[in-house]
Amino acid sequence: MTFSSAAFLFLYLPVVFILYQITPTLRAKNILLAAVSVFFYAFGEPVYVLLLLLSVTLNYILARMLGGKHRKAVLTAAIILNVLMLGIFKYAGFAAEIVNLIPGVQLPVPHIVLPIGISFYTFQILSYVIDVYRGDTQVQKNYWDLLFYISFFPQLIAGPIVKYHDIDEQIRERSVTAEKCAAGICRFTAGLAKKMLLSNTCGWIADAAFGASDPGTALAWLGAFAYCLQIYHDFSGYSDMAIGLGAMFGFDIPENFRYPYASGSIKEFWRRWHISLSTWFKEYIYIPLGGSRVGTGKMYRNKLIVFFTTGLWHGASWNFIFWGLWHGAFSILEEFVKPHKRKWLAILWRPLTLFVILFGFVLFRAETLADTGVYLRAMFSLSAGSAPVMLARCLSGYNIAVLILAAILSLPVVPALRRMLGEKLSAIAAYAGCAVLFIASVVSLASSTFNPFIYFRF
């Protein structure tokens, strides 16, 4: 069950929202949300929901043990347990393939189905245990509240990764006003429209280009551009929906995107893209390694470790690893060149940043490194390719209009319009626009095939 499914929109969400409103106490509301969130996960993962419950239970026990002796040993055990659980389900097959590269070694390669959202909820629960150890948050003695924190359905499957100390007070005390609920509905609808009206069309174009055996230069560039727009509107759309749903139940879930394609550097891009993940790596890996407080060489090392881990987090594939290292290399180059200190270089660095992002997403989208090489050759070969009919279909009037609109909306145009219209007019426009977008999204949903969110695979 996805946010963009009829079952969620017209059955699950209305029933849960009504039950939440009529539930009398906050304690009962939390138990209700924990129960329906576990059901939400079990709907898509009827077996792996047991893994989620096991993870929550073990970490609940380990976090309670952090108040006693041998705190470092308990923390180490918790980190090993969570990393091992993630590693077995996500990286066991990839690790076996690497070992099999050794001459004379032939291990069986396990094919384990990846539980949906395991990367997100594992990182979330790791942040909780580490924060308890550091003293940044109090241990949660109520099991249901911890289960609620980990399994809360708006952000369970694809984030944002919410740290416990950011939401602890809201678990204990919150309220839902009419204004907050209305704003949440509008935010959810905006995310739904991003997915159904923009991302899916951009995704069709990207799939056509990346699926062609000989796309040619024009189709290859079009596909790369379309994929950049697809992944942004798909993932930021999911985050918008999660934030909107959180507001409907009284929660302030942190922002996860701030128009990353408006960035003037790779460093700025990672302050705007998947913010909850980049801040997680900063707080729990980069800073503990010494961050930028150490010497230049060690700082470069720390950046490479973080970007390597970022790539690996996204999947068991060399493409993801090299995608992370690609960003890491340019991040280090920025530290060395310091483009922000020279106006002329800062101007040139902005388009360079976009090219780095676009080429990186070719790595991200292609299945293998060999596929990446073929695709990049097509982009720079100046060839017509063997798919002129597909290129013509991709360049239909409707598709061009969607690409232009998706590109415009990937930049901070909406905030500028709000400032120009003023508070009252922008509120009226937002409510009217949400009604139109919801109808258009439902019409698109009725006529489309199942198209899951990109980040469900992570």
Report residue 212: phi and psi, to 5°: -75, 140
- What does the alpha-carbon distance between residue 155 and residue 242 come to, in Å, rounded to a whole number? 6
Question: What is the rounded distance in angstroms from the CA atom of residue 334 to the CA atom of residue 22?
Answer: 54
Tell me whether residue 274 is one of the annotated catalytic residues: no
Specify whether the CB–CB gap between 86 and 119 falls below 8 A: yes
Whether the link from the prior residue into 24 is cis, omega within 30° of 0, is no
- Contact (Cβ atoms closer than 8 angstroms) between residue 359 and residue 392: no
Helix (H, G, I), strand (E, B) or coil at 193: helix
Q: What kind and span of H or E run contains 357?
A: helix 343-365
Contacts of 270 (CB under 8 A, 6+ apart): 278, 327, 331
- In one letter, which amino acid is 324? G
* The Cα angle at residue 246 between residues 238 and 21, in degrees rounded to 5: 135
Report the sign of the C-alpha dihedral through residues 39, 130, 238, 24, in that order.
positive
Secondary structure of residue 433 in the 3-state scheme:
helix
The neighbour count for residue 419, using CB atoms within 10 Å, is: 10
DSSP element (H, E) containing 226: helix 216-248
The span from the CA of 15 to the CA of 26, in Å, is 18
C-alpha to C-alpha distance for 121 and 258, rounded to whole angstroms: 23
Half-sphere exposure of 164 (CA within 13 A, CB side): 29
Tokens 């700025």 belong to which residue? 268
181 and 243 in contact (C-beta within 8 Å)?
A: no
- Tell me, what DSSP letter sits at residue 339? G
Q: Which residues of 314-335 are buried (b: 16+ CB within 10 A; e: fewer)?
A: bbbbbbbbbbbbbbbbbbbebe
The conformation of residue 455, written as its DSSP 8-state character, comes to G
Given the residues 233, 274, 314, 327, select the one marked as catalytic.
314
**Active site (catalytic) residues:** 314
